[in-house]
Structure 1
Amino acid sequence: MTTTHPESTAELTVVDSGLLALVQDAGRRGWAHLGVGGSGAFDRPAMALANRLVGNDECAAVIEVTNGGLVFTCDAPTRVAITGAALPVKVGNRSRWTHEVIAIPAGGTVRLGVPERGLRSYVAVRGGIRAEPVLGSRSTDLLSRLGPPPLRAGDVLPIGRPRGPVPASDVVVPPPVLDEDEFLPVSLGPRADWFEPEAVEALLRSRFEVTADSDRIGVRLAGPALPRRIHDELTSEGVVEGALQAPPDGRLTLFGPDHPVTGGYPVIAVVRDRAMPLVGQLRPGQGVRFTRG
């Protein structure tokens, strides 16, 4: 993918995309009536922090990297910051780390290792990624296939012109990412009444485990069966990011930023917005527990 932009001053070239690397920003809100979801960075505070470190607007487009492995070069001197899941970084042969501003020389190669904890890291380049916007956003939506396609080796991304001064602070303390079970606050409903009372009790007292087939569309959870009281077929209705949908097999799906805008299975609860950045960092095999909050 090679694009040009009149406000670009430099280019970033992908050498290796790793498992999955996507262009993301704050998302395309307000298009659900046309069947288009919000998308955007899964861990939005991490994206905003990376942008602040290099003097970008908090919503400037970044690269969201799943489980590390991204390798890229820049054709001009620039600054980058990497936040989210902490991982080792190399610029040429020099070791660096996340959550600090890193100066990249012209032609310099940046290599991201694999995080020990967490899942998604965010690469902000001073000036921002200037991929072509679709419906007002540069975000990649894996469900609707809007925005730039997933990055591949050889893709060239234009970098925008820096707008503001470089902040005085060039390093921050990474947020803690725990190995233990993650506790997520939920609001019950809108279809909690379709489930037996013991199903709601099981939701709030049981441990669920993230499965390997999770993605930005939905985090799949293995756990106890949640018996339904009403077995009628549900007419498709609107769903939101964070919704806990229970299909007939009883395996919960926690909708992520690329979720469908409607669903035909009952939603027993919705994870609070403030906890969704934690959801974006859940790894397969990690435990999840739900609490009222």
Structure 2
Amino acid sequence: MSIEVIKPGLLSTLQDAGRRGYAALGVGRAGAMDESSWRLANALVGNRNGEAALEITLAGPTLRFRQDAVIAVTGGIIDARADDQQLLPWTSCLLPAGTLLRFGGMQHGCRSYLAVRGGFDAAPVLGSRSTDLHACIGPMDGRSIQAGDVLTVGEHATAPWFHSRKHVQALRWSLDPQPWLDYAQAPLALMRGDHYAALDDASQRALFAQRFSISKDSNRTGSRMDGTPLQLREPLELISEATLPGTLQLPPSGQPILLQVEAPVTGGYPRVGQLAAVDLPRMAQRRPGDAVYFRETSMDEAFQRLRECEESLRCLLQHIEQRLESS
């Protein structure tokens, strides 16, 4: 089964859980920026093995499905039409062979996920089908999709919850995106980093008080923050040390950079904070110009919130599986 790319959209890449465990070799993780939405999209089409999905940024592609396909779209709320029919998000949909799927602009959030039953098939690189734009590795030599590309879908069984394949259709139920999309854009939980104490007193206060906004220069490597510059008490001479997604670095400009999934594995800028892992998907859905406030958190609270989120997600994934089986 294959899907033809008619228009690529602003930035659309194949992503899975990423290539973890290779930082010692200098290889970053990559993968879906909003991992919760990626997992839920796969669950809605009956995928259970971490299949690759298409991560869509701000404005989506136009795709032609050459064979019947079962799909789901989660993450940011994006306009999508299958031929002339509005496509429902956050549920399982059937597209008959020949369907033209057109994505428009994103109404809320920054990234959506298109999963297809069987997953997008591509040769794994270091055990992952994720595209790393920064390192230029992964599917299509590490680039985003382009017009004329043909995306292959993995082998899969027929979805038993759709009995007719003659027209576009969707299940009668869908997931509530509210718990997974940060509509209120609440403050994000940040732990003090190794060099927090090197900030001057005013900057220490400002880190957890001022409004930052996401710069238009942000990408999958890092979200650049615009705001009143933060200042160090005195210049620091640092050697490069380990970094990871969520590390908040302070370059000489004084405008912090929050590293994302394509973060380099080491960096030499002061590390003034570390975002709680549970808030990384929320950060991934902030678009350029959106406000960001940080609130201080502890390691214990960050772990507790992550455990609670994982348990909620596990229960929902189980519920989706049972619901599909009974449809």
TM-score normalised to structure 1 length = 0.92
Tell me, what secondary structure is at the counterpart of 2:13? Answer: strand
Kindly provide the CA deviation profile for residues 195-218 of structure 1, in whole angstroms up to 9, marking residues without a partner as x.
Answer: 123222110111100111111000
- Asked whether the 8 Å contact 1:12–1:73 carries over to 2, the reply is yes
- Asked whether the 8 Å contact 1:211–1:284 carries over to 2, the reply is yes
Per the TM alignment, residue 179 of structure 1 is displaced from its structure 2 partner at its CA by 5.7
1:87 corresponds in structure 2 to 78
Kindly provide the CA deviation profile for residues 149-170 of structure 1, in whole angstroms up to 9, marking residues without a partner as x.
Answer: 2100111111011269657975
Tell me, what secondary structure is at the counterpart of 2:279? Answer: helix
Kindly provide the CA deviation profile for residues 92-148 of structure 1, in whole angstroms up to 9, marking residues without a partner as x.
Answer: 111112112111111111011211210100000000001111000000111111102
In structure 1, what is the Cα distance between the partners aligned to 2:58 and 2:79? 12
Moved more, 118-127 or 94-103: 94-103
Pairing 1:129–2:132 present: no
Correspondent of 1:196 among 200, 223, 237 = 200
2:286 corresponds in structure 1 to 282
In structure 1, what is the Cα distance between the partners aligned to 2:290 and 2:184? 8
2:220 corresponds in structure 1 to 216
Q: What letter matches 2:240 in structure 1?
A: S
In structure 1, what is the Cα distance between the partners aligned to 2:185 and 2:68? 42
2:167 corresponds in structure 1 to none
In structure 1, what is the Cα distance between the partners aligned to 2:160 and 2:287? 33
CA 1:84–1:199: 2 relative to 1, 3 Å: same
1:29 corresponds in structure 2 to 20
- Asked whether the 8 Å contact 1:49–1:58 carries over to 2, the reply is no
Tell me, what secondary structure is at the counterpart of 2:278? Answer: helix
Correspondent of 1:147 among 138, 144, 153 = 138
1:157 corresponds in structure 2 to 151
1:239 corresponds in structure 2 to 243
2:271 corresponds in structure 1 to 267
In structure 2, what is the Cα distance between the partners aligned to 1:255 and 1:202? 20
Q: What letter matches 1:11 in structure 2?
A: S
- Asked whether the 8 Å contact 1:52–1:167 carries over to 2, the reply is no
- Asked whether the 8 Å contact 1:53–1:167 carries over to 2, the reply is no
Q: What letter matches 2:80 in structure 1?
A: V
Correspondent of 2:255 among 233, 236, 251 = 251
Aligned-residue identity in percent:
38
- The list of structure 1 runs, each at least 4 consecutive aligned residues, that deviate by more than 3 angstroms after superposition, is 163-170, 176-182
Per the TM alignment, residue 74 of structure 1 is displaced from its structure 2 partner at its CA by 1.4
CA 1:163–1:275: 2 relative to 1, 3 Å: farther
Per the TM alignment, residue 182 of structure 1 is displaced from its structure 2 partner at its CA by 3.7
Moved more, 235-244 or 188-197: 188-197
In structure 2, what is the Cα distance between the partners aligned to 1:165 and 1:73? 20
1:12 corresponds in structure 2 to 3
Tell me, what secondary structure is at the counterpart of 1:114? Answer: strand
Structure showing the higher helix proportion among its residues: 2
Per the TM alignment, residue 69 of structure 1 is displaced from its structure 2 partner at its CA by 2.4
Q: What letter matches 1:161 in structure 2?
A: E
In structure 1, what is the Cα distance between the partners aligned to 2:211 and 2:183? 14
Q: What letter matches 1:174 in structure 2?
A: P
CA 1:268–1:167: 2 relative to 1, 3 Å: farther
- Asked whether the 8 Å contact 1:55–1:167 carries over to 2, the reply is no
1:105 corresponds in structure 2 to 96
Unaligned runs of 5+ in 1: 1-9
Q: What letter matches 1:61 in structure 2?
A: A
CA 1:179–1:48: 2 relative to 1, 3 Å: closer
1:6 corresponds in structure 2 to none
Kindly provide the CA deviation profile for residues 165-198 of structure 1, in whole angstroms up to 9, marking residues without a partner as x.
Answer: 6579752122264565441101101211221232
Tell me, what secondary structure is at the counterpart of 1:224? Answer: coil
Unaligned runs of 5+ in 2: 163-170, 298-327
1:4 corresponds in structure 2 to none
